[in-house]
Structure 1
């Protein structure tokens, strides 16, 4: 007899192509052994190469979506993606913690669409500090972390922000034969590497990584282990085909020794 899957929630935008946002998150959660629930924050008009516009969901409707899910399902792990307003995001995270103080929140800060559409400018430092204080993990790429926190390098920015919450600095925008993600937290840095693939660029790869990490946390993994397995899962999606939309797989997780 199989045991029930844990639940995890994605609060994110709807991407009709399924490469990013809610659809990508729920595919990833399912493939990682977690039942994925979704709350829509935005309806985007896009595909894997073009972003035209976005229609934002009202904050009251976002809360109502969440409220009914929390009333029905045991949700201790939530990923947050595309959101209209960072001050409103802070209000939401504090409301969420009021509903369930055990919540572990993973924030994948979507500041700019792959096709170039900008959602947020640099936040006020105090707002960023307050947001990070509510998070279990922040998962920016290199351009995003420099937009969040000005610094000479992305590593320096990630280290500074990690004073408030752990930061996984994604390495997809760096150069070199390997793509290396760096986990900053508690004064230490851990590296997770995978070969850089010749046709490995994928629309929404950052969403996949953060959702895979969330799934592992929901399954009981420690943060570093969740990042390692999430990185390995994302590598299978990047290697799945040469297009910009990756395929997800069941039973493809690396086995523990």
Structure 2
């Protein structure tokens, strides 16, 4: 990927002190993809790669002042959203992003629960969820998240593109499936890598955002994200990956 300092991606997500997930993981991913990263914090988490102790959520005023300050100088074409307290805040953030740039491409990584069992987003109001999905380009759920969202929608369609991640499937085939709004599916091949890493969902959505900011089409960006995550899974020690070892 050629370097281009004019590519900027905004991450709206939580702060994970160990750096494996959230804003720090997003920034590391984006910078390794040679994209300028900016960040707005939605929450401060007390966690490491094995455990989440507590989440301290920012109120909407705190999120808005961060966004407004950046809006005074920057126009964002691609935004990735991670953990957020509730759908009402998510909807307000999306409305702010769209008011700044109606063509902004928004990726939402719908993190409903941490891998250690900590609940992040509980109340999935079907009407508000439908509104949110209709305003964004892509969601990147794993299988349990997809099922939770589908149940919450109560038969309403997913009014957005879906990258259904394959990591929670059985066996060695971990292919992702890109599903458009008409239900057409494109398989993005993948195989199981034995290493377990913290924050792979954050890394994937950020890598996809980087690809989009470089002008990739959605399928190409999702494929690039899948390959980046595979490299991430092979890197580093224990549950923390090493972005600086990943070749782009």
- TM-score w.r.t. the length of structure 1 is 0.90
Task: Quote the Cα distance in structure 1 between the aligned partners of 2:28 and 2:34.
Answer: 10
Query: Are 2:75 and 2:100, in contact at CA under 8 Å, matched by a contact in 1?
Result: no
Partner of 2:139 in structure 1? 138
Q: Tell whether 2:165 aligns with 1:165.
A: no
210-219 vs 108-117, which moves further: 108-117
Q: Which residue of 2 aligns with 1:192?
A: 188
**Pairs aligned (count):** 244
Residue 81 of structure 2: aligned partner: 80
- Structure 1's 160 and 34: CA in aligned 2 closer, same or farther, altered over 3 A? farther
Q: What is residue 241 of structure 2 aligned with on the other side? A: 246
State the alpha-carbon separation in 1 of the partners of residues 163 and 110 from structure 2. Answer: 12
Please say if residues 43 and 57 of structure 2, whose CA atoms lie closer than 8 Å, have aligned partners that are also in contact.
Answer: yes
8 A Cα contact 1:203 1:244, kept in partner: yes
The alpha-carbon deviation at position 160 of structure 1 amounts to: 6.8
Segments of 4+ moved more than 3 angstroms: 159-162
State the alpha-carbon separation in 1 of the partners of residues 229 and 157 from structure 2.
24
Structure 1 unaligned spans of 5+: 152-156
More divergent stretch after superposition (72-81 vs 130-139): 72-81
1:216 corresponding residue in structure 2: 211
- Where does the alignment leave 5 or more consecutive residues of structure 2 unmatched? none
Check whether the contact 2:235–2:246 (CA below 8 A) recurs between aligned residues: no
2: CA distance, partners of 1:245 / 1:228: 22
* SS at structure 1 position matched to 2:119: coil
- In the alignment, is residue 31 of structure 1 matched against residue 32 of structure 2? yes
Q: Which moved more, 1:120-129 or 1:164-173?
A: 120-129
| Matches of 1:102 and 1:149, distance apart in 2 | 26
SS in 2 for 1:75: coil
